[in-house]
């Protein structure tokens, strides 16, 4: 599909509307080398989000094409994330600054300077559900914080220190040396007894305060013990009915349903020995989509949910128009992605283009020298590279400074093709905010899989084989 800027955009707006459409349009104009149009759509999408918690600042990245690590987006969204209810979100964003400091020290220092007065001016205790404290021991010096504000300010200080020349490779050291503690300001009652009848469990859940946490109590009750599909179904129906009456976005029923599906292997339920019966997955998918549509949640999590529904061939009813439209938008986005190209150089100075590997599967692996999980993943990727041979190209993309990378490779040779993305253009395009992450691209240039963390070798092998053997897709019109 190729949009006409005058007519096609209007048709797409009527077709899907709101954030997901604007996100797709931003990508479209970006690929058409129209940055002003792309930025306009991204800004418009952000304005629709200003009353909500924003966990994924990816919508804003096109506004700052030169951004090294979402830093302009972080500053733009900080006034929302600096809400006492969402201090943990802001802490995660500040961790991003710490990780960015070795490669973008000046940008991090400027961002920290702008964020400090914002944090100093906010009350992170009143209205908060939890207090965040930290104990950090670095090179013999131990510090402790006693409040959420102190913890946030310490993170800013760590970002500044990591940006200093003498400590630029120490981000990993800081994270290893720091222990974060989350304590409830108003401790909740004990978990609901999983052996109670459902009616009694609902009564108990309704007694819990604050009210927006009540659905979560029922969610924990569900996972309190292994249950058959027959026993699980009425609990999910009760949660769905409860979600229909929820108006407080802090309750976020879509998250609870989506976590039961465990789509990326990281968000899964905490219940030991509990697993969602396979025959109930369609039911939970639809409950998650309905809850997300009802509260008009963030575009990106719902887009991921919609793509998973398409992959698992979940039948979507007409009443979930937003989900049906997101599936169509996902198809559009994948076609647009096939046009994206980059040209990056390796430590040897050889420059390669992504499009030069058309006709074979490509695994983009984003990593860094300082990242321990990334280094641990490398031997597995090397084995897969040898196993699939000429049918697979693995590109290990890092934003490490050239001298840091070369020193590492001198002592730790890697058989993969290593590419340097010091401006972080590829990182930004794929919205890589944490590593390691991998994207599997099929021989036609379409993204087939996204692995947001280290994937099991058997899973990665199966996905690569399926991509290599996939039928050629139709060319974008």
| Strands of the sheet with 178-184, listed across from one edge | 141-144, 130-138, 178-184
More confidently predicted of 171 and 54: 171
Listing DSSP states for 446-467 in one string gives -EEEEESSPPPHHHHHHHHHHH
Residue 393 near residue 361, CB atoms below 8 Å: yes
Residue 425 near residue 62, CB atoms below 8 Å: no
pLDDT at residue 50 greater than cutoff 60: no
pLDDT at 97: 74
φ, ψ dihedrals at 363, nearest 5°: -110, 115
> Helix or strand or coil: residue 238?
helix
pLDDT at 186: 60
> Helix or strand or coil: residue 400?
coil
Would you place residue 39 in the very low, low, confident or very high pLDDT band (cuts 50, 70, 90)?
A: low
Would you place residue 381 in the very low, low, confident or very high pLDDT band (cuts 50, 70, 90)?
A: very high
Average model confidence (pLDDT) across the chain: 75
> Helix or strand or coil: residue 437?
strand
Residue 92, both tokens? 């995660």
pLDDT at residue 46 greater than cutoff 70: no
pLDDT at 394: 96
CA distance 157 to 299: 33
Residue 299 near residue 289, CB atoms below 8 Å: no
- Indicate yes or no: pTM above 0.85: no
pLDDT at residue 440 greater than cutoff 60: yes
The answer to which of 98-102, 290-294, 368-372 has the lowest mean pLDDT is 98-102
pLDDT at 79: 46
pLDDT at residue 288 greater than cutoff 60: yes
> Helix or strand or coil: residue 373?
helix
pLDDT at 27: 61
214-242 pLDDT tens trace: 888 888 899 888 899 999 999 999 999 98
Residue 306, both tokens? 């919609």
pLDDT at residue 5 greater than cutoff 50: no
The answer to which of 333-347, 355-369, 435-449 has the lowest mean pLDDT is 333-347
Would you place residue 307 in the very low, low, confident or very high pLDDT band (cuts 50, 70, 90)?
A: confident
Bridge partners (DSSP) of residue 300 are none
**17 backbone φψ class: left, alpha, beta (φ>0; ψ -120 to 50):** left
Would you place residue 350 in the very low, low, confident or very high pLDDT band (cuts 50, 70, 90)?
A: very high
Mean predicted confidence (pLDDT) in 321-329 = 78
Mean predicted confidence (pLDDT) in 76-86 = 51
pLDDT at 312: 85
Listing DSSP states for 185-199 in one string gives SSPPPPPPPTTS-HH
pLDDT at 167: 65
pLDDT at residue 86 greater than cutoff 50: yes
Residue whose structure tokens are 């009564």? 203
What Å distances lie between residue 427 and 159, 285, 313, 329, CA to CA? 20, 30, 30, 22
pLDDT at residue 265 greater than cutoff 70: no
Question: Which residues, 6 or more positions from 4, have their beta carbon under 8 angstroms from its beta carbon?
Answer: none
**233 backbone φψ class: left, alpha, beta (φ>0; ψ -120 to 50):** alpha
Listing DSSP states for 84-129 in one string gives GGGHHHHHHHHHHHHHHTTT-HHHHHHHHHHHHHHHHT--SSTT-S
CA distance 51 to 41: 18
Question: Which residues, 6 or more positions from 286, have their beta carbon under 8 angstroms from its beta carbon?
Answer: 314, 316, 317, 320
Residue 257, both tokens? 């349903």
Would you place residue 281 in the very low, low, confident or very high pLDDT band (cuts 50, 70, 90)?
A: very high
What Å distances lie between residue 66 and 47, 393, 427, 428, CA to CA? 21, 28, 12, 9
169-181 pLDDT tens trace: 556 667 667 787 8
145-204 pLDDT tens trace: 999 899 989 888 888 888 777 665 556 667 667 787 877 666 556 889 999 999 999 999
pLDDT at residue 30 greater than cutoff 80: no
């Amino acid at each position: 599909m190729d949009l006409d800027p005058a007519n096609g955009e209007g048709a797409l707006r009527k077709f899907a509307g709101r954030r997901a459409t604007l996100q797709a349009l931003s990508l479209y104009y970006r690929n058409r080398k129209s940055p002003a149009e792309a930025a306009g759509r991204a800004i418009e999408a952000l304005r629709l989000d200003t009353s909500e918690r924003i966990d994924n600042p990816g919508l804003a990245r096109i506004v700052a094409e030169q951004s090294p690590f979402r830093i302009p987006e972080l500053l733009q969204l900080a006034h929302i994330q600096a809400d006492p209810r969402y201090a943990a979100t802001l802490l995660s964003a500040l961790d991003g600054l710490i990780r960015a400091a070795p490669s973008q020290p000046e940008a991090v220092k400027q961002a920290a300077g702008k964020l400090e007065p914002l944090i100093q001016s906010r009350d992170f205790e009143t209205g908060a559900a939890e207090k965040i404290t930290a104990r950090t021991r670095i090179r013999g010096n131990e510090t402790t914080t006693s409040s959420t504000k102190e913890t946030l300010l310490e993170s800013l200080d760590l970002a500044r220190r990591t940006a200093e020349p003498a400590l630029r490779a120490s981000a990993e050291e800081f994270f290893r040396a720091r222990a974060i503690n989350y304590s409830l300001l108003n401790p909740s009652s004990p978990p609901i007894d999983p052996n109670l009848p459902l009616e009694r469990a609902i009564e108990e859940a309704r007694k819990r305060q604050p009210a927006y946490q009540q659905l979560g109590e029922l969610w924990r009750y569900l996972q309190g013990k292994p249950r058959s599909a027959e026993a699980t179904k009425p609990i999910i129906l009760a949660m769905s009915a409860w979600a229909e009456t929820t108006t407080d976005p802090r309750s976020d029923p879509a998250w609870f349903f989506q976590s039961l599906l465990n789509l990326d292997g990281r968000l899964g339920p905490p219940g030991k020995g509990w697993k969602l019966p396979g025959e109930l997955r369609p039911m939970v998918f639809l409950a998650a989509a309905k809850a997300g549509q009802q509260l008009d949640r963030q575009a990106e999590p719902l887009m991921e949910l919609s793509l998973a529904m398409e992959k698992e061939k979940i039948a979507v009813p007409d009443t979930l128009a937003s989900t049906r439209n997101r599936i169509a938008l996902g198809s559009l986005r994948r076609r647009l992605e096939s046009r994206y190209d980059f040209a990056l150089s390796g430590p040897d100075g050889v420059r390669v283009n992504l499009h030069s590997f058309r006709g074979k599967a490509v695994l983009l692996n984003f990593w860094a020298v300082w990242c321990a999980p990334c280094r641990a993943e490398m031997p597995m990727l090397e084995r897969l590279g040898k196993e699939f041979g000429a049918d697979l190209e693995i590109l290990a993309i890092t934003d490490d400074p050239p001298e840091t990378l070369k020193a590492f490779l001198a002592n730790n040779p890697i058989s993969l093709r290593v590419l340097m993305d010091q401006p972080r253009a590829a990182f930004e395009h794929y919205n890589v905010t944490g590593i390691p992450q991998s994207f599997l691209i099929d021989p036609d240039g379409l993204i087939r899989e996204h692995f947001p963390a280290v994937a099991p070798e058997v899973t990665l092998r199966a996905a690569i084989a399926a991509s290599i053997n996939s039928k050629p897709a139709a060319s974008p019109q």
